[in-house]
Structure 1
Amino acid sequence: MFSVKGEEGKQALDRWISWARRCRIPVFVELAGGIVRHRQAIDAALDHGLWQGLIESTHTKIRLLTRIAFGFRSPEALIALAMLALGGRRPALPGRTKHPRISQ
């Protein structure tokens, strides 16, 4: 579902809901009703590219980093560790050659 985002994703979901409501398979009809009940959250996920699974995953990683950083002297060290692990930037480490399959 999240491969098509924004308005195009909403239109595709509308088409599927319309089809599922007319479908004779009870599970699809029930699923369409559930999607309609949660439509506001689904639309927000399509608009912003965030959904609960991604948020929970990031939260779990931050909790793990907090346990790892338990002995650090200051919270700035934990923040730096989180930015390195989750920030998306991969600085080149000194003395290391670039791996051909990993973009740096």
Structure 2
Amino acid sequence: LRVLNPFYPEAVVKSVERTGKLLVVDGGWSSCGMAAEVIASVAEHARVGALKAAPARVTLPDAPAPTSRVLEKIYYPTVAMVVERAAALAAAGRA
């Protein structure tokens, strides 16, 4: 996505209908953030049955940002987390 506001879900919906999968990576919190809005928009606009697996997201936990460097390492999403979630989503729905 290049523009978040206004958010036009058409491109995302088209991709979901083609792939059957949705992974949203957002630097915001899981609840009430852009990731939640993208997933809700797909649920509202995609054809029924378009998703072959539950949507997934990689976001910050719903907690205040830590000030300790030790806690920061487990708070912020990493590349490894994105790769792991993407691999799990890619494998989902396969028989």
**TM-score (norm: length of structure 1):** 0.28
Task: Tell me which protein shows more strand as a share of its residues.
Answer: 2
Structure number with higher helix proportion: 1
Larger RCO (CA under 8 A, 6+ residues apart): 2
Structure number, greater radius of gyration: 1
Q: What TM-score, normalized by structure 2, do the two folds share? A: 0.30
